[in-house]
A = this chain, B = another copy of it.
Amino acid sequence: MRSSEGLVVETAPKVRLFVDAPLATGAEIAPAREQAHYLFTVMRLGEGAEVALFNGADGEWRARVARADRRGGTLVCLERMREQDHAPDVHLLFAPIKKARTDFIAEKAAEMGVRRLRPVFTRFTNSERVNVERLRAHAVEAAEQCGILSVPEVDPPATLDAVLADWPSERRLMLCDELRDAPPATQALRAAGAGPWAILIGPEGGFAPEERARLRALAFAVPVSLGPRVLRADTAAVAALALWQAALGDWG
């Protein structure tokens, strides 16, 4: 487009795709089948059209459609538009809940800046199954739509016991508990200070008494309160992330 000064200003392409391939000048990218459908059938892009590509590692690239084919096609990387950035070193651990609310947590984790998503089964977790690919797809879609360059990794689900057994002692754990005796989150986070962190959101039924006792006894655990109301797990995840980002992350 042409700016008011008459200079040619290159705008970022409107279509933005995550691809699972290295990006570099001249690299040829074969879109996945559903991406080809989106590019060439839904968006009706033809040869020469430009798209933005990112892969979570090499920044954001301007690419051109070299061959439009509804079952595949080829994109060619032209130039890097943005350098890669990284979400703060915070993981989000959550007990899986209803499908729509679990999808929502994956989406919000991508939007708000989380490095890793870890579904954990606690004693009172109702949901038995977690579809890691589906969570990852929701995180990717949110990243595509919100201009985000770093997509959270999604770990396979594990029991809380297994997760704690392998816990690196230097990673602090923000323990979002419904008991009212924990200090306010902002105050507790600031007192604990910066470094690698994780946030643990309990299941809808709360932690079991023996789980709670075990968690609170951990040297790296930082129990926090998220106010006087009982929050649903998806609300607690977004609220906890906002408070963490503001106190210790890149919103400060």
Contacts and interface: CB of A to CB of B under 8 A. Distances in A.
Contact of A113 (B227, B243, B246): B227
B146 A246 contact: no
A231 B235 CA distance: 15
A145 B247 CA distance: 30
A193 interface: no
Number of copies: 2
Given A238-B242, A242-B238, A251-B225, A232 B186 contact: no
Contacts of A249: 227
A14 interface: no
What 8 A-B pairs have minimum CB-CB distances, sorted nearest first? A227-B251, A239-B242, A242-B242, A238-B238, A186-B246, A146-B230, A111-B235, A147-B230
Interface of A: 108, 111-113, 142, 145-148, 184-186, 225-232, 235, 238-243, 245-247, 249-252
